[in-house]
Amino acid sequence: MRKTRLLLLVVAVLAAMALAACGKKGNGLIKVGVVNNPPSESGYRQANVEDMEKVFSKENGYELHAFYSIKNDEQLQAAKGFITDGVDYLLISAAETTGWDAVLNDAKKAGIKVFLFDRMINVSEDLYEAAVVSDMAAEGDTAVKWLLSQNLSEYKVIHIQGAMGSDAQIGRTGALDKQFADGKMTKVVQQTATWDENAAKQIVETVINSKEDFNVIYAENDGMAKGAVKALDDAGITHGVNGKVIVMGFDCNKWALRELKAGNWNYDGQCSPFQAQIISDIIKGTRKVTTKKIINEEKGFDAKTITDDDINKYGLGN
Amino acid sequence: MKKKERKLFGNGLGQLAIPIIAICVLVIFNLIRDPSFFSIELLQNSDGNIVLSGNLISVINGASELAILAIGMTLVTAACGGQDISVGAAAAIAGSTFVKVLKSGGQITGFKVLLAFLLACLVAVIFASFNGTLVAVFKIQPMIATLILYTCGRSIAYWINGGATPTVESPILTAIGGFIPWIPVPTPILIVLVMAVIIKVFFRFTSIELFTQSVGINGSAARLNGLNSTFIKILSFMILGVCVAVSGCIGVSRLGLINHETLLLDIEMDAILAVAIGGNSLGGGRFKISGSIMGAYVIQMLTITLWAMKVPSTNVKAYKAIVIVLLVVAGSPVVKKWFEKTVSRFKNRKPEVAAKGAGES
C-alpha cells in the first residue's frame, strides 16, 4: 500500500514537471499542435506520424505537441487544449468530418492558424489556411492510365476491393468502374476482401478454380495483392514482368516495392503520408497558397523503371 | 420403433443433422449451378511441386483456421455457457509474437520456427487464462470478460511489430501455410486433422469431456460432486488459447505477412456461428466438436459459393445473412419438434397405407 502511494506521488511530481516544461515559453521555437489518428491505425499512419516528427523537429525550429486518437470527441478536446496552451499552428487530421466548427472558430479568435492534413473537414474554407490531402480518385486514375498504356490486346481484370465505403476503396474503384462501363476492360470478378490478405487469395483461387481467363489483378492495397499473387503461385500461373498476369497494388510498402523491383509485380500506386514538408514550407513562407485545397502529388511506380532510391525514399515500413 | 426415432432426432446424429443437411444442400446447389464446381485436379505450382487444386480443396483449406478455433470455442461454450469474442484479436497477438521471434536476427531455422510457435502458444494461453480467470473466478459473463481483449487486442499486437505490415520469407513457413514438398494436400488441412486427433485422444484418456459437460449443465451440482468447476472452465479457455495460437500462426504462414488489423478479421463471430450451426447449445452443456468443425466448413463453403456466383461486393453479407437465418431457424428447437411430430405422424400412418396396399393387390 505504502509502495503504491509512493509510486503515485512520483508519478504526480513527474507529471507536474512535464506540465511546467510545456508551459515554458519564449524559446524562439514555432509551437505546433498536431491532432492526428494513432500510429497503430495502419502502416500509412505510422509513416505519417514519423514524418511529422521528422519535419517538425527542434533542428528545423519547431516545438511539436501531438495528440493521437481515433475518437472525434477526444480529438476535439485535445484541440481545445492546444488552443488554451497557445500554440502557433494547429494541424488536424480529423477522425470525423463533422463537429469542428466551434473549435476552429475559437482558434481563429485566438489567432492560431489551422492546417488540415490527410483528411478534409466539413467547415467553411476561411476557418483554415490550407488542407493538404490525398486524392484517392486521382490515385485510381493514375493506376488505370498506366494500365491502359500497357496496350494489352484485351483487359480481363480481377478487381479486389478494400473495405466497402472507405475513402481508399471508393477512390480506387471509381476509375476502374469507368473502364468497365466503357467496355474497354472486362470485369472478370469484382469482390471485396475488406483489406484481408487471405480473403484476397481465396477470391483469386475461386476464379482459377472456375477456369475463367484473366490477365490483370487490380488489388486496392499491397497486402491483398500479395494474397492474390500467392494464389497464382499455387496454381503455377506466371505473373509480373514477362508473366501472363499483370499485378497492381497500392500503398507502396517497402516490401511491395521490392517485389516490384524483382519483377514479380508490375505496378504500385502511392498513397502519400508525407504532408508535413508542404505545411512547413507554407509556415516558413517558401510556398505560396494559391488554392486552399492542396492535393499531395502521388506517384505510381512501374516495375521496369523503379530504382532502389525510390524504394528508400517512398517506401513505407522496412 | 420409438427408441430408434429418439436416437435419430434426439441426440446422436440429430445434433449433426443441420450441418450435414446444410453441406448437402450447398453441394447439390453448386452441382446444379456448375457441374464442374467440385472437380479436383493436380497442378504444378511455382515451386515445382505437384499440388491438388479445386474448389473443394479451397473450401477445406480456407476453413482451417476457423475449424481449429471452432474446436476451442465449443469447449468454452460448453463449460462456461458463453463465448469468447476475443479470439481474432488474440490470434493477432499470437501471430505478431510468432513474426517478432522469426524476425529477430539470423536465419530462420526449423528450431526457430518451433520456438516462435511455442512462444506464440504461451502468449495466447496467458491471455486466455486472463479471460478464463475473469469468467471462472470473478463470475463475469464470458462475452463481457472477453470484450476487454476484443477491444485492446489488436492494439497490443501493434506494439509488438509496429504499424507497417512486416513480412517474413522462409521455405519452412511456405511449408506450414502452403504445401510441404511432395505432399499435394495443403498443410493447414493436415494441421486441422492433427488437432482433431489430439483432442479426440485427449478426451479418450481423460474424463474432461464428461467434466466439461457437467460443469456446463450445472456448475454448483458439479462442484458438489467433487469437480473443480473453476479449473475446468479455465482449462477450456487455455485449450482455446492453444487453438488461437495455432490458427494465428497458420494465418501468418499462408502469406508470410502479418497485418494485425486484418489477420483473422471478424473470425470470432464465424467461430461462434460454427458452434451454433454444429447444433451445440450456446448456453453450455452437451457438445459435439465434430458438429462445430462441420459448421466451419459450411460457413466457408457458403462464402466460396457466393464468390463463385459473383455476388456484388455490397451484397455478399446480406446473402450470407439470409442463408444463416434459414440454417439457425431450421436448427431451432421449435422447428425440430415440429419436424419430429410430422415424421412420427407420417410413420404412424404408414402401416395403414401398407395394409391398404396389400389388400388391394
User: What's the gap between Cα A31 and its chain centre?
Assistant: 25
pLDDT score, position B8: 46
Residue A165's pLDDT band (boundaries 50, 70, 90)?
A: confident
Closest alpha carbon within chain A to B44: A236
Closest alpha carbon within chain B to A46: B163
pLDDT score, position A18: 57
pLDDT score, position A19: 54
Question: What domains are there in chain A, each with its CATH number?
Answer: 28-134+273-287 (3.40.50.2300), 136-271+302-314 (3.40.50.2300)
Q: Which residues contact B233 (CB under 8 A, 6 or more apart)?
A: B79, B80, B132, B135, B136, B215
**Is-contact B327 B22, C-beta < 8 A?**
yes
Q: Which residues of chain B have pLDDT under 70?
A: 1-13, 350-361
CA–CA gap between residue A114 and residue A132 (Å, rounded) = 11
Say if B313 is an interface residue toward chain A (CB within 8 Å).
yes
Say if B169 is an interface residue toward chain A (CB within 8 Å).
no
Tell if the CB–CB gap between A202 and B304 is shorter than 8 Å: yes
Element (H, E) at A32: strand A30-36
Q: A46, A71, A209: best mutation site toward chain B, by most B Cβ within 10 Å? A: A209
pLDDT score, position A119: 85
pLDDT score, position B359: 46
Residue A318's pLDDT band (boundaries 50, 70, 90)?
A: confident
CA–CA gap between residue A239 and residue A218 (Å, rounded) = 13
Would the pTM of this model clear 0.95, i.e. be above it? Answer: no
Out of A191, A197, A203, closest to residue B259 by CB: A197
43-62 of A, contacting B, C-beta below 8 A: 43, 45-47
Tell if the CB–CB gap between B310 and A191 is shorter than 8 Å: yes
Look-up of cell digits 508535413: A276
Q: A198, A221, A224: best mutation site toward chain B, by most B Cβ within 10 Å? A: A198
CA–CA gap between residue B330 and residue B324 (Å, rounded) = 10
Q: Which residues contact A181 (CB under 8 A, 6 or more apart)?
A: none
Contacts of A316 in chain B (CB under 8 A): 164
Out of B254, B310, B312, closest to residue A198 by CB: B254
pLDDT score, position B258: 92
* Region label for A295, one of left (φ > 0), alpha (ψ between -120 and 50) or beta (otherwise): beta
- Exposure class string for B107-122: b at 16+ Cβ within 10 A, else e: ebeeebbeebbebbbe
Largest interatomic CA distance in chain B? 87
Q: What is the pLDDT of residues A110-144, one digit of tens each?
A: 999 999 999 888 899 999 999 999 899 999 999 99
The DSSP secondary structure of B9-63, one letter per residue, reads HTSTHHHHHHHHHHHHHHHHHHHHH-TTTT--EEEE-TTS-EEEESHHHHHHHHT
Kindly state the cell numbers that stand for B235. 482449462
Q: What are the residue boundaries of the structural domains of chain B, listed by start?
A: 2-355
Say if A42 is an interface residue toward chain B (CB within 8 Å).
yes
Contacts of B175 in chain A (CB under 8 A): none
pLDDT score, position A44: 84
Interface predicted TM-score of the whole assembly (ipTM), two decimals: 0.90
CA–CA gap between residue A209 and residue A180 (Å, rounded) = 23
B2-355 folds as ABC transporter involved in vitamin B12 uptake, BtuC (1.10.3470)
Contacts of B43 in chain A (CB under 8 A): 234-236
Count CB neighbours of A81 within 10 A: 14
Tell if the CB–CB gap between A317 and B164 is shorter than 8 Å: yes
Q: Which residues contact A36 (CB under 8 A, 6 or more apart)?
A: A45, A48, A49, A52, A66, A67, A68, A91, A92, A93
Contacts of A230 in chain B (CB under 8 A): 178, 254-255
Chain B nearest-CA distance from A235, in A, is 5
pLDDT score, position A27: 75
Tell if the CB–CB gap between A234 and B36 is shorter than 8 Å: no
